[in-house]
Amino acid sequence: MIYLIAIILIIVMIYGPQFWSKYILAKYSRAEYFSGNGLELARILADRLALSDIRVEETELGDHYDPVEKAVRLSREHCGRRSLTAVVVAAHELGHALQDRENYQPLHLRTRWVMAAYRAERIGAALMIALPLITAMTRIPAAGLMMFLAGLASLGIPVLIHLLTLPVEWDASFNRALPILASGEYIPEEDLPAARRILTACALTYVAGALASLLNLWRWLRVLRR
């Protein structure tokens, strides 16, 4: 019974924020709100915030800021519309551009880790799968220990990235995007609580991602202990 409750709690903690985030984003995506769409607002903000070197583009890969290419990329699903969600998400991504301009170190640290994460995660998974075979062939216990540590470190990288992502996203949302929106030029004061809900919903998806990464690491450790 205890294990069943634990499993239910884990599912709720990981998937609950994702469902709530989708609900909130969809709720404030329905009505037309801004005189232009999210892409147009992002371009206006880039000009007014003296981010003339930042490109604003549409993408199929989801809303994000690319600090390497210096580009704010917004999805058609969320930011091709004239909605409150479009306005808030565009401001959030411009918040990342402000972080980059101000040399916000957690953003640069996350970028370096992300660039290495995909390759390292695949290598780590391969090493951990091959661990028993390599140990049996070499018959050297130290080789198995070294492979285990290498694989564990590689699988731990996504966990570190998610932990780094949380303060980066929080800062972009509540220390940068929300003050811009609260300036009175883009949304009226009565819509600020809704904007805060949208930003909170987005932040919770990253919390869920961090929990999922921790769960994946824990699962691998349990497999290797058998």
- The Cα–Cα gap between 107 and 172 comes to 10
**Could you give phi then psi for residue 72, rounded to 5 degrees?**
-90, 120
pLDDT value of residue 163:
77
- The Cα–Cα gap between 173 and 92 comes to 5
- The Cα–Cα gap between 108 and 100 comes to 8
pLDDT value of residue 99:
93
Q: 57 pLDDT band (50/70/90 cuts)?
A: confident
pLDDT, average across residues 94-115: 86
- The Cα–Cα gap between 37 and 13 comes to 33
**Where do the domains of the chain lie?**
2-225
Q: Could you tell me if 205 and 17 are in contact, meaning their C-beta atoms sit under 8 angstroms apart?
A: yes
Our answer to whether residue 102 is catalytic in this structure is no
Q: Provide the β-strand partners of residue 72.
A: 56, 65
pLDDT at 70 over 80: yes
pLDDT at 144 over 80: no
pLDDT at 167 over 60: yes
Which one of the listed residues 32, 93, 102, 190 is annotated catalytic?
A: 93
